[in-house]
């Protein structure tokens, strides 16, 4: 796909918006990447949009992982078991996703967005066992939940943090802070696996991915900075963002079903 100047600018702006929402509300923003690429930037092939967004998701997650690792918010052994299982799922999910008709895939994506919106409205507890370690009691849970979330992540080309975070808490009982930090290991691994699978089939626009990532870095800095000032209203921000996700999902569902 040869990008026009307008599309390049829209790609940069869309990446900034995703990065801004990630920095502002702490998660869920990457699910807007595919609809932005399709309906704003004008990527005509939904599979290219998914492959390209997976590259951006992996890059943004890796950048955020560095910050959490420095703060020692990552339970590495638990995260790595979860990630290895999830990578297997992500490869299978992304392979299956390439076989599904693009418009039907967008319709399914819209349904998933509604689930994300509902999950974002739930309050997250900060309680948990800070001393949690990898052991027999949580190994199989980590493998099973990791495999399931990796499959969904690969199929839709998303980071899946909204599923990974509660999945890690369910499997290990770790606090939300450690779950968020540890989830970024999985998001990076899933994103790299999905993007590599799509790239092998020529379904990644690298120029657009670079613009999206560049915009995401800038937007993330602005979002994180704004979050400090708006931290007391984070619950309200989550509600507004979840509502936005619902609106976009309904639009995608109507648009994609009308073309089937």
pLDDT tens across 51-104, in order? 999 998 888 888 878 878 888 989 999 999 999 999 999 999 999 999 998 888
Residue 37 has pLDDT above 90, yes or no: yes
- In this prediction, residue 230 carries a pLDDT of 64
In the predicted model, what is the mean pLDDT of residues 181-193?
91
Cα dihedral 40, 44, 50, 56 sign: negative
- Which is higher by pLDDT, 218 or 76? 76
**Please, are residues 216 and 15 in contact by the beta-carbon 8 Å criterion?**
yes
In the predicted model, what is the mean pLDDT of residues 1-18?
89
Q: What is the pLDDT of residues 124-173, one digit of tens each?
A: 555 677 889 899 889 999 999 999 999 988 998 887 777 888 889 889 99
- In this prediction, residue 227 carries a pLDDT of 64
- In this prediction, residue 45 carries a pLDDT of 93
Query: CA 2 to CA 146: how far, in whole Å?
Result: 37
- In this prediction, residue 20 carries a pLDDT of 83
The reported pTM is 0.83
- Which is higher by pLDDT, 27 or 175? 175
Burial of 106 per CB tally in 10 Å (0-12, 13-18, 19+): buried
């Amino acid at each position: 796909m040869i990008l026009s100047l307008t599309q390049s600018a829209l790609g940069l702006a869309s990446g900034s918006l995703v990065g801004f929402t990630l920095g502002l509300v702490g998660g869920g923003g990457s699910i807007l990447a595919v609809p932005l690429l399709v309906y704003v930037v004008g990527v005509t092939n939904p599979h290219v949009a998914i492959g390209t967004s997976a590259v951006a998701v992996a890059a943004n997650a890796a950048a955020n992982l560095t910050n959490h690792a420095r703060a020692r918010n990552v339970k590495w052994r638990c995260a790595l078991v979860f990630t290895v299982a999830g990578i297997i799922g992500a490869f299978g999910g992304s392979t299956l996703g390439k076989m599904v008709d693009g418009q039907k895939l967008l319709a399914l994506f819209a349904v998933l967005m509604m689930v994300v919106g509902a999950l974002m409205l739930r309050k997250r507890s900060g309680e948990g066992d800070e001393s949690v370690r990898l052991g027999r009691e949580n190994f199989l849970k980590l493998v099973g939940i990791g495999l399931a979330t990796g499959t969904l992540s690969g199929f839709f080309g998303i980071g899946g943090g909204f599923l990974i975070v509660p999945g890690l808490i369910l499997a290990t009982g770790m606090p939300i802070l450690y779950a968020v930090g540890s989830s970024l290991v999985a998001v990076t691994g899933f994103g790299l696996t999905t993007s590599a699978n799509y790239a092998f089939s020529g379904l990644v626009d690298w120029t657009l991915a670079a613009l999206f990532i560049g915009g995401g870095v800038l937007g993330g800095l602005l979002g994180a900075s704004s979050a400090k000032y708006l931290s007391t209203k984070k619950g309200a921000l989550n509600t507004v963002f979840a509502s936005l996700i619902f609106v976009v999902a309904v639009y995608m569902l109507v648009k994609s079903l009308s073309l089937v």
